[in-house]
Amino acid sequence: MEIQIDRTLKQLRRDRGNTQDELARYLGITVQAVSKWECGDGMPDITLLPKIAAFYRVSTDTLLGVDEEAKNRRIQEITDEYNRIRRHEPHPDGTLFVDHGIDEGISLIRAAVREFPDCWFFYQLLASDLWWRAKSLRGDEKSALLNEAEDLCNAILASCTEDRWRHCANSILCMVYIDSGRREKALENAFQSAEAVDCIDWKLTKIYEGDELKKQLRRTMREFLRLLYLSAKQMHDEDGDFEFAKNDSSMQIQLNFIHDHLHG
């Protein structure tokens, strides 16, 4: 994808009647930096692109001179390549899955974020992989990846208006806080999230009908069973067995209710 930000910046400035100095002061940088951008001698830092777009009241796509159709094709190409690289398979010892290609995937999506600085899908994808990769590291390496993931999530929350990616960012951010030892921040984040019965999967079971409803119910059950498994496994790891269910009368009532309704 060809980026033509030098020509776009010149054109926008002339159309709006702005000076390089006005843009520089708005961004808190030198006028020489703006001049270099317009001469094609450099590119603005990725963090400045949304601010420049806001200054000229255009989208970052317009700022970068991106053709929307070409952009979508390129995003799909990167997504397909990522899916080819990253594979999740069941682990022989019973853990959830084994990761394949995580480092290669991180490199690919890092480049994608630079190429598409307002594609929040790539932001959350990179943040998730960075958090997961950090779990196998220690010390400064771990901190660096967690910090990068946190910055990506905060960028989404600061600029993205789509609830889908904001929810993803919040979930990843909670995990980052936990793994970096910031329990209070994790609690604050958790209490800002919706309860399970307020999630999209649950709501769609009340909206869909017919085959759409059946498909959604299967998805919802898979997701809730996954959460149930994770909770049971954690309880098992803590207590050494699964006897907790027998000792919780309210849980037993609900399990019996499910059993009775499923078996007539």
What's the residue count for the chain? 264
Q: What is the pLDDT of residues 32-64, one digit of tens each?
A: 999 999 888 888 888 888 889 888 888 777 787
* Predicted TM-score of the model (pTM): 0.61
Residue spans of alpha helices (H) in 135-209: 139-159, 163-179, 183-190, 200-207
Whether the pLDDT of residue 211 is over 80: the answer is yes
Topology given in CATH for the domain delimited by 5-64: 434 Repressor (Amino-terminal Domain) (1.10.260)
Tell me how far apart the alpha carbons of residues 76 and 235 are, in angstroms, rounded to a whole number: 40
- Count of beta carbons in the 10 Å neighbourhood of residue 240: 8
188 half-sphere exposure, CB direction, 13 A CA radius: 7
CA distance 181 to 150: 13
In the chain, residues under CATH classification 1.25.40 are 69-182
Architecture of the 69-182 domain: Alpha Horseshoe (1.25)
The DSSP bridge partners found for residue 89 are 98
Q: Can you read off the two tokens belonging to residue 85?
A: 């690289």
Mean pLDDT score, 76-82? 95
The span from the CA of 82 to the CA of 96, in Å, is: 20
pLDDT band at 99 (very low <50, low <70, confident <90, very high): low
**How confident is residue 248, by pLDDT bands cut at 50, 70 and 90?**
low
pLDDT given for residue 238 in this prediction: 67
* Start and end residues for every CATH 1.10.260.40 domain found in the chain: 5-64
